[in-house]
Chains A and B, each alone.
Chain A
Amino acid sequence: MGMSPALSPRPNPPGSNAPFNAAKAKPLVHLLNHKTVPSPSLTSAATTPGGPDDGLAEEMNDGVKNQFIFGSRLGEGTYATVYRGHYRDDPSKLVAIKKMKKNTEWQDGINLDSLREMKYLAELHHPHVINLIAVFTTKDENINLVLEHLPRGELQDIWKDKEIAYGGADVKAWSNMICQAVWWIHENFVLHRDIKSNNILIAADNSLKLADFGLARSFANPEADMTYNVITRFYRPPELFLGSSHYGGCVDMWSVGCVIAELAVRDWFLPSETDLAHLGVITEVFGVPTEHDWPGISKLRFWKEQLENTPPKRPQPLSWWRSRMPLIGEAGIDLVRGLLTMDPVKRLSAKQALEHHYWSATPRPQKRENLPRKGGKEAERAMGEQLKRVGPEADEEKMAKIARKLDFGAMR
């Protein structure tokens, strides 16, 4: 990782006609990644009196804004409208522009989900994390996030669509991309806290992108409490149901285990009706943990009411896993069980997951270009539909989550 390339302060001024092939050869994508956002040029003279009443910050903002053109509207919801967009100097380079609505009902300024999403995506640039290309405001004070265009929908669509056939090599390739993304964010001390198969999007080149950082946070100081009321239920680890308020990357790793298992069984892996019932669903598969399997469990906040009086139960044997997940083989089952370890201390970390022998076992991971996918036009049409759909799920989830359901993260 070297220094950012030396760039002129204003590499892409509004209205400039960058040479066509130059723009092709060197994508101007990483506006946040490198110093290509036109800083107000340090050399130019100050605005003359009588000129536009824009400060330097505004000038800088306009420089970013003018690089993009809004296109057709892809979907609209309560908190955001998503547009297809493209670069001004290269209409073939698509982006998605998520325009955050300014909600007059919102009394506390810019909402927390948007702030978190901007905060973390600006820091986390990785091939398998959705790329936040730029952010700008329009004069109506709407914040616009320019995100990479991911036209192939969500990972969840793949296993749900029974017309799509896929095999062990495909699951391996997808799983590996997910593990890389999670490893990267954890190396950067960020917890995602909402990993699930519809927060993982598919790019035009079939690579997966972890999206939706509206619940993310930095690793806490050891003494600070965190909320245990995070992560969508099907993907939430047992320690959070037991009220643990000190945790690290292990909570995300349980979710990763659930996503891989989902791909392997082509169905929800741990479906449940309510939060209260979910721990029962988990123990059905993994047994009832004791102080022996999981030292310290009896000190967790809700252990007494949730588990203390539960009759002992043995975990499902290996044969159960073999019959349910033939798609990923012995090595794959070993990885999934390592990720879905009840005791968070013994659970595989992202780094350990990447060192697992599953990746080197046969079959080799599918080549990216050969991964199965949904059709382009169909996926794009579905995207609009998805964005309008804010019904039953909205009632169930917190209001704040709507904003994220409607974001580009929900596109397909």
Chain B
Amino acid sequence: MRLNEDDLYRQSTQYKHWSFTPSDLTRLREKTNAHAAAQVQLHIAQDRAERAKLAPLDVASAPDSGANTPNGNGAGTGANTPVPGGAGDKGGEVDCLTMDEEKMVVDKFCETAMKLGDFLKLQPDVTATAIQFMRRFYLYNSPMTYDGTKISKTAFFLALKLELGTRAGSASDFASRLPKTTRDDIVAPEYTIVQALRFNFEVRHPFRGLKGVHLELEDMIHANYAGVARDGRSSADLRAEALAALQVTGGDEAEGKLGNIYAHAKDILAMAAQLTDAYFLYTPAQILLAAHLLAAPALTTFYLGTKIPSSSPAAPKILSTLQSCADLLSSHRSYTKNPAANKHGWADTDPPETKRAMKKLRACKDPTTQDLVALNAGKKRDVVRDGELEEGKAKRRKLNREMAEKESDSFWGPELKKEG
């Protein structure tokens, strides 16, 4: 049995559950957004009604004018009540985030998460996995429902456990490295997250593939390349062409330049690839080649030529896919042609529309899902309370099952065990 890497990739959950066409991705986000917006409207209205009951005299006045908000426990809930038009307007529609705004907000969450990863000095793989967990999570959940800072902490801890195993450390240790964070903050949202992740925990990153390309190119410039180019070029030919593509004459100079290209492409993968929809729309191989294409167009074209001749009918298709992926990556504002530039300078300059969306978010958070620790504790209580109900259910199920078994017996006849 022969397998190629494409076959293997098609077995992965990343391909089966987390790869989309652009229109599918948009439709899923639209649905998530519409659902969440409806919930936000409902819950904020309920919240207002509650408060109106508690403080009937304040009804006419502006809801947020008082220094004391009625709900002292729900951190953030008070701030959630929007004050759109001032007094008298409190029954109106909440101005929810649109799908596009949600996406901006999620991108912002992921940028912040990337800084958190740097702050914690985590390996790039762990940070990238955590960010992809967040991106996947927010396909099925809205930032209006779940706060990005809270989700990111747990996403990081989950990524740590999965990438480092027993060396991940405890949740308490992890919490202690974060400002104002307890163990409960880390653990409470975990089920919500793993459910939205559909229990798929493997993220296929482009980093190792990029390293492979880099090593192959190094072999080529040293005329050590063990593979055979599709068109039968000798290793000396390959070396000459690689040097020409790098616009250098000697091996030492080529090596230095190759190192810079690798570093540049790696930065693109570590930032732009994480902060755009690249993982949803392209395969890891496409992403790494697109990053390499941005870092060194001529060299990448040469490299592709050693794998697939430009005369092949697939070649133009591959190139155009890589180009569109490269366009996506270079559209991100972290992208720079000059790899020496300040790496994270871009991250402090949010575009104005992102700032607006973040501000808008403050007024349309779902009040029922802001305190995740209490929510989690509440669920556990429900289970205890519903214990009896569960039992009744179990009995009913048992009856149903026995019925079903009887029916199947009458259809197929009884088991043959007596004869065996």
List residues of A whose CB falls within 8 A of some B CB.
1, 3-4, 32-35, 37, 39-40, 42-50, 53, 55-58, 60-61, 69-71, 86, 91-92, 107-110, 112, 115-116, 118-120, 122-125, 135, 137, 139-141, 143, 187-188, 217, 221, 227, 376-377
Contacts and interface: CB of A to CB of B under 8 A. Distances in A.
Interface of B: 3, 7-8, 10-13, 16-17, 24, 27-28, 31-32, 34-39, 41-42, 140-141, 145, 157-158, 161-162, 165-166, 168, 170-172, 183, 186-187, 190-192, 194-196, 198-202, 208, 368, 376, 379-380, 382-383, 394, 397, 400-401, 404-405, 407-408, 412, 417, 420
Contact of B187 (A108, A125, A221): A108
Given A49-B41, A188-B11, 13 more contacts: A1-B10, A4-B16, A44-B31, A46-B38, A48-B38, A49-B39, A56-B140, A91-B404, A92-B408, A108-B187, A115-B158, A119-B202, A143-B191
5 contacts: A47-B39, A55-B196, A70-B397, A112-B168, A227-B166
Contact of A53 (B37, B39, B191): B39
Contacts of B192: 57
B38 A55 contact: no
Given A118-B201, A123-B13, A141 B380 contact: yes
Most chain B CB inside 10 Å of its own CB: which residue of A40, A55, A120, A377: A55
Contacts of B397: 69-70
A188 B412 contact: no
A110 B190 contact: yes
A402 to B, nearest CB: 16
Contacts of B3: 1, 187
A46 to B, nearest CB: 4
B10 A143 contact: no
Contacts of A377: 417
Given A91-B405, A109-B171, A187 B8 contact: yes
A192 to B, nearest CB: 14
A34 B13 CA distance: 9
B47 to A, nearest CB: 13
Contacts of A107: 170-172, 183, 187
Contacts of B405: 91
A47 B34 CA distance: 8
Nearest to A85: B401
Contacts of B190: 109-110
B210 to A, nearest CB: 13
Contacts of A50: 42
Contacts of A39: 28
B31 A135 contact: no
Contacts of B16: 4, 32-35
B380 A125 contact: no
